[in-house]
Amino acid sequence: MNTGQPSESFVTVGNLAKRFGEIEAVDDVSLAVGEGHTLALLGPSGCGKTTILRCIAGLETPDEGHISIAGRVAFDAAAGINLTPEQRELGVVFQSYAVWPHMTVAQNVGFPLKIRKRPKDEQRDRVMRILEIVGLTAWRDQPATLLSGGQQQRVALARALVYEPRLVLFDEPMSNLDAQLRDQMRIELKILQNRLGFTAIYVTHDQAEAFSLAENVVLMNRGKIETAGAPRDVSFRPRTPFVARFLGLNVRGGHAISTGDLQTGLCYAEVALSERLTLRGLIGDERPIAPGAPVLACIRKEHIEIRKLPPGGPTRHGALIGEVRAASFLGADEEYVLDLDGVELRAVHVPIGAQAGDMVEVTIRPENCTVFVAE
């Protein structure tokens, strides 16, 4: 699948395939990244995203396809071209930090310059400059493994950037950090990229990291591209039931009652999820949905509107009545488990003070529900 390549791509991957025995880890994948931009490879474990990254880095040899970086062919199966990782002139930040315990912070960071035999004055100046950028100047002479996890991640980042590569690959670099440090590092990475202008490909299973760091997101599934696009498009308009499930949407089965056009001209389906529970949603793909066909309704938890229902009080037109099964305080929001005529839905909403057993009014707008034909 092609992700919609930019006209001037800095990295181009075409028809990439990689097999491990009978396992098709990467299956005919094509994608591209423009210079100075960020692409996130998102997906569950085993979907092929890290294998793609390792193929781009030269750490794995693909079975088919081609890879070009900055207009230079790095790999071409048909032509027999396969540049070494060093020849590809890129930086890699690994999940495990991979700092060397017998070296100081400065020695860790300067190692890529040392193996490239850069002049010692240049090594010293570049190391000091990048340590200042990542805020580690005061720790330059400390053993790297004595630093905190967040500081070691900065060491790994500085080491990847010290020789000023135009492409940097990130392989789950924040998975070992706690939540607060992950938030901090995401902001710092955005600032660094804006300041230094490098192109980045970022591998993660965390949708918050992918959406916050990248301008384009590729969601992988079993070695193939399931969907690709801008973060808001991928997040708010899932293209397949797999995407909806991976992003944590409510996915509930039912059958179609009818189809038609909203005033916007978009096609919708009216869906019955139970005997008395019906709702409308936008049809998620181009396949027609016939009345009676089995369907899946996909609803983002944050797009379910809830209001406490006073005893005997009126309801808004089109609203549904549900019972709160459980409420969990999340800080700024609460997560509610709702029972609507035997159908369980989870909703994330600003706190309304609802408790288990309370009756609530539930509104699901058609534009916030996507309907697919059930396979």
The alpha carbon dihedral of 133, 139, 141, 147 has a sign of: negative
Q: What is the pLDDT of residue 256?
A: 95
Q: Is 200 exposed, middle or buried (0-12, 13-18, 19+ CB in 10 A)?
A: buried
Read off the pTM.
Answer: 0.86
Q: How many CA atoms lie within 13 A of 172 on its CB side?
A: 15
Can you read off the two tokens belonging to residue 362? 């539930």
Q: What is the pLDDT of residue 145?
A: 87
| Helix ranges restricted to H, the chain | 49-57, 105-115, 120-133, 149-161, 179-196, 207-213, 231-236, 241-246
Q: What is residue 303's DSSP assignment?
A: G
Can you read off the two tokens belonging to residue 263? 């005033």
Q: What is the pLDDT of residue 278?
A: 95
Residue 151 CA to residue 61 CA, distance in Å, equals 32
Residue 273 CA to residue 251 CA, distance in Å, equals 11
> Among the CATH numbers 2.40.50.140, 1.10.3720.10, 3.40.47.10, 2.120.10.30, which is that of 242-373?
2.40.50.140
User: Starting at the edge strand that comes first in sequence, how are the strands of the sheet with 224-229 ordered?
Assistant: 91-93, 167-171, 199-204, 38-42, 216-221, 224-229
Helices (H) and strands (E) in the chain, counts: 8, 21
CATH 3.40.50.300 fits 9-241, yes or no: yes
Q: Return residue ranges of the chain for CATH 2.40.50.140.
A: 242-373
- Sequence-distant (≥ 6) Cβ neighbours of residue 4 within 8 angstroms: 228, 229
Q: Return residue ranges of the chain for CATH 3.40.50.300.
A: 9-241
Q: What pLDDT tens digit does each residue of the chain (375 aa) get?
A: 444 444 479 999 999 999 999 999 999 999 999 999 999 999 999 999 999 999 999 999 999 999 999 999 999 999 999 999 989 999 998 877 778 888 999 999 999 999 889 999 999 999 999 999 888 999 999 998 889 888 888 898 899 989 889 999 999 888 777 777 788 778 888 888 888 899 999 999 999 999 999 999 999 999 999 999 999 999 988 999 999 999 999 999 999 998 876 555 568 899 999 999 999 999 988 778 889 999 999 999 999 999 988 777 667 777 899 999 999 998 889 999 999 999 999 999 999 989 999 999 999 999 999 999 997
